[in-house]
Structure formats: structure tokens, C-alpha cells
């Protein structure tokens, strides 16, 4: 029923677009016959509006992957470098939360591991809203920061790395096999910043998937059952991503191209010193307004990458970068 409703909304959207164009053409014919300049001016504005809406909807065609419409799990992991990298991971968390807020997405932090002095070691965030996974999948990879370190007494320039993972939140009818005998489930007390216990009962859950070694922790909810359900959602998403990467690697091997899904896959550089610039290394898109990007202005980077992916699949990209 959800899929039917979504498809019905999409068909109705294109029907309305077609009707707007038909109405505008009829008015244009009448206005030209009567020489009505005011109506012609209004039709010019309507034509611009239709063209803008059409471009947006054509771009949506780039979001046609199997799970692009789904909600997403966003994970951020600090790279090597201690406090510097952990602070950078928290800056990325703020950036994505701002982006989600600007687009009307709902977010919930389901697990967060604090850094020793500042920042975070890792965080998992559920992002819910139309096409959340479709947009956020463009952010997978290593993000690099260059800046003068606020944690260095000598005020030297430092380079930090953080890894961003994005997984779809899969519905129960999506087949990802998780056998109970492949799971080790541990429960423990939830802990706040600095390690202090915030729950007297053991409500936090850690699930280890024995065949892959994947470990997922959730301690955000007050109920052990809720934490277990959330952790299983994250695990399902991770297992799906492993399978997706495996298929991509196999397809790339057939094309003679090597795909590296590891830490070497650096996608974007954020430079705050000696100049300001954010550059996407995959598409070449860049901006000198680094602060706006860190405040959530990510659309230009996401859209450029998504358009480039449509092009690589043999289709015409929806517009120029």
C-alpha cells in the first residue's frame, strides 16, 4: 500500500505538470490573438516556474535506485588522529543534522560514542523522510579536513579524516538473512559522556554478527527491547551494504575497473587554512564558502554526484553541473 501510494503521488505530479503546460499553451494562443501584454508577461513567469519544477523532477529520476526512496542510517567514524579526528567527526555530525533539518527530515541519534577529550569516536543516526537514502548515499566515503588545530598549543596545521557510511533502513519484507545462531547479543548499562552510568538496569544492547564480525551497539532507548530492535535495523542495513558493495565490485571487475570501498576512498576535502575551500574529488565541484557547507549546504555536491551516476549508467544526466 505504501508503494502504491507513492507511485500514485508520482503519477499525479506528472499529470499536474502536463496540465499546467497545456493550460499555459491555451492562454498563450488567446493572449497572442488579443495582444494582451500583461497576460503574456504572466505566462513568461509561469513558463519559468514550469521549467524550474521540471528540472527538479527530472533530477528526481536520478534517484531511481531500489532503496533510494527509503529512510537511511548515517554512520560517522573518526579516523586515526585522536582528538583531532574525533572533533572532525562531530563537525560532520553537525553538518548532516543541519542538512537534514533544512530539508524537513526527522533525525534520531541511536548510538553515540564520545571522544576522550572532545568530539565523538562514532555515531549512528536514523534519517527519515522521502529519498533520505537516495541523497545521503552520495556522502559515502572518507572526508578530509585541513585546518589550524584548536587542540595544538603551537597552532599548527593538521589533517584529519572521518569515514561516512550510509545504509538504507530496510522494511521487514526486504530479504536480508540474519540467522539467530549467527548473533551474539550482550546487554549492559547505558553510559553517558565520560562513562558514567545513566541507567540502573541493563538496557543497552550490543549485537555481534559472528560470520562478518560486525558489532552494532544501541543505548539510546529506555527499553532493552527497543534498543535490540534498533540495533537489528542497523545490522540489516550494514549487511545489505556489504552485499551491495560486493555486487558493485563484481560488476566493476567485469568492466576491468577496480573498486576500493575502504579507507582509501577519499571523496571530499574541506580546507579551512591557509584558504577556505571545499572540493569534491569525484565530480570536481568546489566552493570557497566552507562555512556554508559545514552549516549543511550540501545539495550542490549531492546533486552533481547523483547526476554523474546517471551518466555512467548510460542515461542522459538531468541537466548540467
> How much is the average pLDDT of 210-232?
87
Tens of pLDDT, residue by residue over 76-100, are 999 977 899 999 999 999 999 999 9
Question: Averaged over 34-44, what is the pLDDT?
Answer: 86
Question: Among 207, 226, 254, which residue terminates a domain?
Answer: 254
Q: What is the mean pLDDT of the chain?
A: 84
In a domain, 321, yes or no: no
Do 153 and 265 have their domain in common? yes
CATH number of the domain where residue 239 is located: 3.30.160.20
> In this structure, are 114 and 185 located in the same domain?
no
Residues 128, 106: Cα–Cα separation, whole Å: 5
Task: Please determine, for residue 146, whether its predicted confidence score (pLDDT) is greater than 60.
Answer: yes
List the domain range (segments joined by +) for residue 16.
Answer: 2-60
What is the pLDDT, as a whole number, of residue 201? Answer: 66
pLDDT value, residue 151: 83
Residues 167 and 77 in one domain: yes
Spatial distance between the Cα atoms of 192 and 87, rounded to a whole number of angstroms: 18
d(CA 305, CA 36): 44
Does residue 47 sit within a domain? yes
Same domain for 52 and 88?
A: no
The pLDDT > 70 percentage for the chain reads 87
Residues 170, 115 share a domain:
yes
**320 domain residue, yes or no:** no
Q: What is the pLDDT of residue 315?
A: 41
Q: What is the grid cell recorded at 263?
A: 579507507
For residue 317, being part of any structural domain is answered with no
> Are both 76 and 167 inside the same structural domain?
yes
pLDDT bracket for residue 61 (50, 70, 90): confident
Same domain, 250 and 265: no
> Could you tell me if 307 and 222 lie in one domain?
no
Q: In the prediction, which pLDDT does 255 show? A: 42
> How confident is the model at residue 72, as a pLDDT?
93
Residues 143 and 98 in one domain: yes
99 and 85, same domain (yes or no): yes
317 pLDDT more than 60:
no
Number of domains within the chain: 3
Closest CA to 174 of 71, 251, 313, 61: 71
Residue 79 maps to a domain: yes
76 in a structural domain: yes
pLDDT at 272: 94
Across residues 21-32, what is the average pLDDT? 90
> Rounded CA gap, 130 and 104, in Å?
10
Residue 319 lies in a domain: no
Ranges 183-187, 219-223, 283-287: which has the least confidence: 219-223
Domain membership of residue 25 (yes or no) is yes
Indicate whether 200 pLDDT > 80.
no
Residues 188 and 170 in one domain: no
pLDDT for res 135: 94
Looking up residue 127, the CATH number of its domain turns out to be 3.30.70.1660
Residue where a domain terminates, one of 254, 276, 291: 254
Please state the three-class secondary structure of 132-154 as a single string: HHHHHHHHCEEEEEEEECCCCCC
pLDDT digits (tens, 9 = 90+) for 227-276: 998 888 889 888 888 887 787 776 556 445 444 444 567 899 999 988 99
Section 108-114 average pLDDT: 91
Q: How many residues does the chain have?
A: 321
Residue 188 confidence class, pLDDT cut points 50, 70, 90? confident
Together in a domain, 122 and 80: yes
Amino acid at each position: 500500500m505504501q508503494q502504491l501510494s507513492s507511485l500514485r503521488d508520482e503519477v499525479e505530479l506528472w499529470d499536474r505538470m502536463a496540465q499546467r503546460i497545456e493550460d499555459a499553451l491555451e492562454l498563450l494562443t488567446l493572449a497572442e490573438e488579443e495582444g494582451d501584454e500583461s497576460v503574456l508577461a504572466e505566462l513568461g513567469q509561469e513558463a519559468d516556474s514550469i521549467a524550474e519544477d521540471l528540472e527538479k523532477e527530472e533530477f528526481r529520476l536520478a534517484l531511481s535506485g531500489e532503496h533510494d526512496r527509503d529512510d537511511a542510517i548515517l554512520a560517522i567514524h573518526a579516523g586515526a588522529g585522536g582528538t583531532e579526528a574525533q572533533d572532525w567527526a562531530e563537525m560532520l555530525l553537525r553538518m548532516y543534522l543541519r542538512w537534514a533539518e533544512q530539508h524537513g527530515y526527522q533525525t534520531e541519534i541511536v548510538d553515540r560514542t564520545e571522544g576522550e577529550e572532545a568530539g565523538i569516536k562514532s555515531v549512528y543516526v536514523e534519517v527519515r523522510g522521502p529519498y533520505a537514502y537516495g541523497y545521503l548515499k552520495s556522502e559515502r566515503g572518507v572526508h578530509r579536513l585541513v585546518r589550524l588545530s584548536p587542540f595544538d598549543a603551537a597552532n599548527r596545521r593538521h589533517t584529519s579524516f572521518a569515514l561516512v557510511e550510509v545504509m538504507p533502513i530496510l522494511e521487514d519484507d526486504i530479504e536480508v538473512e540474519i540467522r539467530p545462531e549467527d548473533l551474539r547479543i550482550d546487554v549492559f548499562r547505558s553510559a553517558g559522556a565520560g562513562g558514567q552510568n545513566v541507567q540502573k538496569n541493563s538496557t543497552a544492547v550490543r549485537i555481534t554478527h559472528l560470520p562478518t564480525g560486525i558489532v552494532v551497539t544501541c543505548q539510546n532507548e529506555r527499553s532493552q527491547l527497543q534498543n535490540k530492535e534498533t540495533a537489528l535495523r542497523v545490522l540489516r542495513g550494514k549487511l545489505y551494504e556489504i552485499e551491495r558493495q560486493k555486487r558493485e565490485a563484481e560488476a566493476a571487475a567485469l568492466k576491468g575497473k577496480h573498486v576500493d570501498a575502504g579507507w582509501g576512498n577519499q571523496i571530499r576535502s574541506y580546507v579551512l587554512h591557509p584558504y577556505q575551500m571545499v572540493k569534491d574529488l569525484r565530480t570536481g565541484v568546489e566552493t570557497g564558502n566552507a562555512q556554508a557547507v559545514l552549516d549543511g549546504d550540501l545539495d550542490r555536491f549531492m546533486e552533481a554526484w547523483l547526476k554523474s551516476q546517471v551518466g555512467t549508467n548510460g542515461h542522459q544526466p538531468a541537466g548540467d553541473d
